A = this chain, B = another copy of it.
Amino acid sequence: MIAENADLQTDLSRYRVFRNGEFAEEVSDIREYWRSDLVCFLIGCTNTFEGALVAANVRLRHIEEQSNPPVFVTNIACESAGAFTGPMVVSMLPILSRQVADVVRISGRYPKAHGAPIHIGNPQAIGIDLDKPDFGELMSLKIDEVPVFWACGVTPQIVARNAHPDIMITHAPGHTFVADWPDNTLDEA
């Protein structure tokens, strides 16, 4: 059981509504869109292991700069399942070269929150131009930083869009549901 008294119709700070697979509007409350046949999925987020990274003195610029990390649609095809097919979406954090190994090992302890990075360096190899994020905010690399990419919870939004459901409601990028599980309960170390 997660967040016993939570209400998914009101407790995210921002939602996106898609009709027939197309983005329709972004709202802060979905009570008027709710249907009794809707099913909700809660999936993990890299935010979960940020506390562990900060505790290990990893420099996280999006926290220092109070911004949302950039999110990119890649050219990596997800495994298809029935009507659901599409590319993997990733978030990027710039990490100091000397801290990349620590970041891999710490995030790898959180497989329910995307776990270890899926790609490190060479954004062009997965169809990404770092100067053109699809969501989130532009973040330029500084000297001695490497772009590190994690699977992102925005992926199912892109995939579901391809399946053209009548209605689909998601969190807006960067506006996830915050549960009542302490982050260390997901640490599988």
Which residue numbers of A lie inside 8 Å of B, CB to CB? 97-98, 100-101, 104-105, 108, 116-122, 125-126, 143-146
Copies in the complex: 2
For A116, the chain B residues whose CB sits under 8 A away are 101, 104-105
Contact: B120 with A101, CB < 8 Å?
Answer: yes
Asked if A101 meets B108 with Cβ closer than 8 Å, knowing A122-B144, A146-B120, the reply is yes
For A98, the chain B residues whose CB sits under 8 A away are 118-119, 125
For chain A, what secondary structure do more than half of its interface residues adopt (helix, strand, loop), or is it mixed?
mixed
For A97, the chain B residues whose CB sits under 8 A away are 119-122, 125-126
Name which residue of chain B comes closest to A104, CB basis. Answer: B104
Name which residue of chain B comes closest to A115, CB basis. Answer: B101
Name which residue of chain B comes closest to A118, CB basis. Answer: B98
Asked if A121 meets B121 with Cβ closer than 8 Å, knowing A101-B104, A105-B104, A108-B105, the reply is yes
